[in-house]
Chains A and B, each alone.
Chain A
Amino acid sequence: MESDESYIDNLIPAGMTASTKKDNDGIVQPGLTITKDSPTVSINLDNTIVSQRLTPSSSSSDVLEEGSSFMGSMHMNPRQFSTDNGMNIITNDITGENENDIDDQSDLVDQLAQSLYSYAATTRNYPKPIISNEVPNVFQETQDSDELNKQDKNFFILSSAGKPIFSMNGEDNQITSYMGIIHTIVNYFQLNNPNNEIKTIILPPKNQKFVFLNKNPIVLMVTSTRGESVNELASQLDFLYSYILSSLSERQLSRLFGKRSNTDLRNFLEVTDFENLDRLCQVITYEFYPELILNSLQCMMVSKTLRNKLHEIMSTQLVKESKFLPRGTLLYGMIVSASLNRLISLIRPKGHSLHTTDLQLLFSLIQNQFSNMNENQELWVPICFPKFNANGFLYSYIKFLPCKNYEHNKNVLILISGQKDSFFKLKLFADKLWNKIVDENLKSKIFDIGQGYKVTDVPAPLVHHFIYKAKKYVQFTMPDLEYHQSEEDSDGNPSFQNAKFEYAKKLRTYYQQLHDCITSEGGRQLNKSILNFIRWELKSNVGATASFQKEDVNLMGLVWVTKNFELYLICNNGITDKNIIFKSARKIVSWCKKNESKLFIQDGAVF
């Protein structure tokens, strides 16, 4: 086991940082002026990403259409702006303000904050606020006639010999030719420059990126015009590769290809593998899944007393059962909200940790694979945790705990062991643990877990949404996403899912850009402490054909990084006063610190 101070270790996969660094050659260098040599300097820059004037001709489309448009010629990486398509980029105004300078705000600012239109204020008056996906979208979509090209993103997995293994979109016959091309490109670079593998290709007109991950005997490639950074795409590839390892293990993979390099891996992957790969691609492409770029996990908000009590029970039970459960049998244990992918509590050996990627894989496996499981069943599942040991399997005892509203929320107890025949030992432990939980009257409390919090619960006005990552714990927290159903719903159409995806799309892109502006090409954070503002602007014109006037987009985001935390936040539209925003940011930080024991698992039950 890797030992690390933090129980969930946050190392960027070995080889990834080094390799992504190599790809710098072909990539536009950062356009932001950021002082890299003085690591403690805070930077305050107002970087407007999009400033666009809608032409009257396009204004006939309604707001929803506008909101649904997403990608296209717009270059979302702030370092790679171009000014085609009527887009103006207003560049940085670096004020060089120190974070402390904004420490104390005048009363005037306070008053101003009160008087401004605020989400927080509106909710006081209306029981059901119409908010959240009111945050406008500035990202545009283009259409392409070719079915496959219509997809703005695709993942390909093939063997090093060029045999197709998996692709997210496309029919087999289409894919085969793509795979051939990928194979040729990878080989070409390998032959001509054996020490410097192909990593990235960027095609300027649509800013289409092709990112490669060569993990002989398999090769992964992603192509996207959605504007993710190369780093982000590379980490997505690593995630898919990690999934394949979790299913097969590296040893088995190389054994399969050891015999014949032209092995067709599809014969060795099960239906569930393809389903899971599909699902992972969906999640990282269409859903809001900040776990990957943040390289951390989300925790369930649970009262301090309940969490402590659970950990106490786990610890004492472990000592009590040591006769049945010899040391070393249990490697790692946790209670997880399976529907939300969030940790509730944790049992871990002292000084040991599981990698976030491994846990993310485990959580998504549980979420995807066991949707019709119930509390009658207990599972025993061999899983390879690639970041823990890519060559071996661990065994997971998985038990669904009784809970309210089973359809929407499932809490799961997971106990992990290295011994394949230890099921009944772990089961005994789990049964005793559960009995204890029932004895202590905690059953109904666990039963009820499933509530997050809303952005309005946080006393930070004018903020639409935020993500706060506590670096020490390698965990992050954020308010629930709130999206209301769109108009079509009155017809009974299930557009809830659409509303959710639309909203996820917007948030994802805003956060991507915020995250991007603090990250170097090599995937490292640019500075030890950073304070950045980004502004997105979109001016609408009342055209002759417009049925109503659109709201101008004037959206500010903030990213604030210190030694202890990372804060990403998106303001309500129209809030552009940096002082006010920063004041709210500080309120969020102090709220998160105050509620640390509720929002994060600080230690877990250590044995």
Chain B
Amino acid sequence: MLQFKLVLLGDSSVGKSSIVNRFVKDSFEDLRESTIGAAFLSQTIKLNDNGKEVIVKFEIWDTAGQERYKSLAPMYYRNANAALVVYDITELDSLNKAKTWVEELKNKVGDDNIVIYLVGNKLDVCEKDSSKRLVSLEGAKEYAKEQGLLFIETSAKTGANIKETFQEIGEKLYDIKKTEVNTDLDGNTGEIEISKPSTNDTTSCCS
């Protein structure tokens, strides 16, 4: 089975754990404890490769947004295939924090090695009351485009765009993997044999 490593980064209380929880358990809690340290989860999704079903396993690091744990972050993003940099669209500061994460990822990992997805969360709040929005859709989109990031707005509460986001990441990483393998095989476009042992070793999979 194909495995991809994801990491969620972003300021405290922007909704990282809620997003993961929506994705993994399809549920939401209004009262959620701030993450301390980091939480590791895994979840599989199905992709469709020209009619063929492909199962992809995500190994997800849901990191703590609290300042105290910032220095541990490299441990989690170092081997990641994709990063979800999350901000809260009702908190202007959280976008600035997200930008520093993007910068750090680019400096320490390099865009070539990691897919970065900028995620503006808590869409439901602004749908209810548009005055709550403090980060404009256009502004964030513009920034994402400049930086070459994928971008979306989500709500962990309603589930809006959550599954889709992970699905898209899966497809994207699968495509990257496919081209890598194809070029490795010197242009051979035949069936891709991907049989990775399903270990949790840090060195396994696409790192």
Chain A interface residues toward B at CB < 8 A: 247, 268, 270-272, 365, 369-374, 376-382, 395-396, 420-421, 423-424, 427-428, 431
Query: B201–A369 contact, CB under 8 A?
Result: no
A400 to chain B minimum Cβ distance, whole angstroms, is 11
B200 cross-chain contacts in A, Cβ below 8 A: 424, 427-428, 431
B38 in complex: contacting residue of A270, A365, A379, A421, CB < 8 Å:
A379
Contact of A372 with B29 at beta-carbon distance under 8 Å, contacts A270-B66, A272-B66, A424-B202 already known? yes
Query: B75–A377 contact, CB under 8 A?
Result: no
Which chain A residue shows the least CB distance to B68? A270
A424 cross-chain contacts in B, Cβ below 8 A: 200-202
Query: B40–A370 contact, CB under 8 A?
Result: no
Chain B 43-73 residues near chain A, CB threshold 8 A: 62, 66-69, 72
Query: A379–B201 contact, CB under 8 A?
Result: no
Contact of A378 with B34 at beta-carbon distance under 8 Å, contacts A270-B68, A427-B200 already known? no
Query: B39–A378 contact, CB under 8 A?
Result: yes
Contact of A379 with B40 at beta-carbon distance under 8 Å, contacts A270-B66, A270-B67, A374-B25 already known? yes
Query: A380–B25 contact, CB under 8 A?
Result: no
Contact of A379 with B39 at beta-carbon distance under 8 Å, contacts A270-B68, A420-B72 already known? yes
Query: B25–A421 contact, CB under 8 A?
Result: no
Query: B72–A272 contact, CB under 8 A?
Result: no
Query: B34–A370 contact, CB under 8 A?
Result: no
Contact of A421 with B75 at beta-carbon distance under 8 Å, contacts A370-B33, A377-B41 already known? yes
Contact of A376 with B25 at beta-carbon distance under 8 Å, contacts A270-B67, A370-B33 already known? yes
A395 cross-chain contacts in B, Cβ below 8 A: 37
B36 CB within 8 Å of chain A: yes
The CA-CA distance from A371 to B32 in the complex, in Å, is 9
Chain B interface residues toward A at CB < 8 A: 12, 24-25, 29, 31-34, 36-41, 62, 66-69, 72, 75, 199-202
B40 in complex: contacting residue of A247, A272, A378, CB < 8 Å:
A378
Which chain A residue shows the least CB distance to B78? A421
A272 to chain B minimum Cβ distance, whole angstroms, is 5
The CA-CA distance from A272 to B69 in the complex, in Å, is 13
Which chain A residue shows the least CB distance to B31? A372
Query: B32–A369 contact, CB under 8 A?
Result: no
Give the most central of A247, A369, A373, A424: most B CB within 10 Å.
A424
B25 cross-chain contacts in A, Cβ below 8 A: 374, 376
B62 cross-chain contacts in A, Cβ below 8 A: 377
The CA-CA distance from A398 to B105 in the complex, in Å, is 27
Contact of A377 with B40 at beta-carbon distance under 8 Å, contacts A272-B33, A372-B33, A427-B200 already known? yes
B34 to chain A minimum Cβ distance, whole angstroms, is 5
Query: B29–A369 contact, CB under 8 A?
Result: no
What are some 14 contacts across the A-B interface (CB < 8 A)?
A: A270-B12, A270-B34, A270-B66, A271-B34, A272-B66, A371-B33, A374-B25, A377-B62, A378-B39, A378-B41, A380-B38, A381-B37, A382-B69, A424-B200
Contact of A427 with B40 at beta-carbon distance under 8 Å, contacts A270-B67, A372-B29 already known? yes
A101 to chain B minimum Cβ distance, whole angstroms, is 56
Query: A382–B37 contact, CB under 8 A?
Result: yes
A372 to chain B minimum Cβ distance, whole angstroms, is 6
Which chain B residue shows the least CB distance to A396? B37
A158 to chain B minimum Cβ distance, whole angstroms, is 21
Which chain B residue shows the least CB distance to A371? B33
Which chain B residue shows the least CB distance to A276? B36
Give the most central of A247, A371, A381: most B CB within 10 Å.
A381
The CA-CA distance from A424 to B34 in the complex, in Å, is 23
Query: B202–A381 contact, CB under 8 A?
Result: no
The CA-CA distance from A378 to B62 in the complex, in Å, is 10
The CA-CA distance from A86 to B31 in the complex, in Å, is 50
B32 in complex: contacting residue of A271, A365, A372, CB < 8 Å:
A372
The CA-CA distance from A428 to B201 in the complex, in Å, is 8
A427 cross-chain contacts in B, Cβ below 8 A: 40, 200
Give the most central of B24, B25, B38: most A CB within 10 Å.
B38
The CA-CA distance from A369 to B24 in the complex, in Å, is 20
A143 to chain B minimum Cβ distance, whole angstroms, is 34
B75 cross-chain contacts in A, Cβ below 8 A: 420-421
B36 cross-chain contacts in A, Cβ below 8 A: 272, 365, 369, 379, 381
A420 cross-chain contacts in B, Cβ below 8 A: 72, 75
A378 cross-chain contacts in B, Cβ below 8 A: 39-41
B29 to chain A minimum Cβ distance, whole angstroms, is 6
B31 cross-chain contacts in A, Cβ below 8 A: 372
B69 cross-chain contacts in A, Cβ below 8 A: 382
Which chain A residue shows the least CB distance to B33? A369
The CA-CA distance from A222 to B201 in the complex, in Å, is 49
A381 cross-chain contacts in B, Cβ below 8 A: 36-38
A417 to chain B minimum Cβ distance, whole angstroms, is 13
Q: A270-B68, A378-B40, A379-B38 are in contact. List 7 more A-B contacts (CB 8 A).
A: A372-B33, A376-B25, A377-B39, A379-B40, A380-B37, A395-B37, A396-B37
A316 to chain B minimum Cβ distance, whole angstroms, is 21
B42 to chain A minimum Cβ distance, whole angstroms, is 8
Which chain A residue shows the least CB distance to B25? A376
A28 to chain B minimum Cβ distance, whole angstroms, is 44
A374 cross-chain contacts in B, Cβ below 8 A: 25
A376 cross-chain contacts in B, Cβ below 8 A: 24-25, 41
The CA-CA distance from A570 to B34 in the complex, in Å, is 41
A206 to chain B minimum Cβ distance, whole angstroms, is 38
Which chain A residue shows the least CB distance to B43? A376
Which chain B residue shows the least CB distance to A248? B68
Q: Which 6 A-B pairs have the closest CB atoms?
A: A381-B37, A378-B40, A270-B66, A377-B39, A380-B37, A272-B34
The CA-CA distance from A382 to B38 in the complex, in Å, is 9
B124 to chain A minimum Cβ distance, whole angstroms, is 20
The CA-CA distance from A23 to B200 in the complex, in Å, is 56
Give the most central of B32, B33, B66, B201: most A CB within 10 Å.
B33
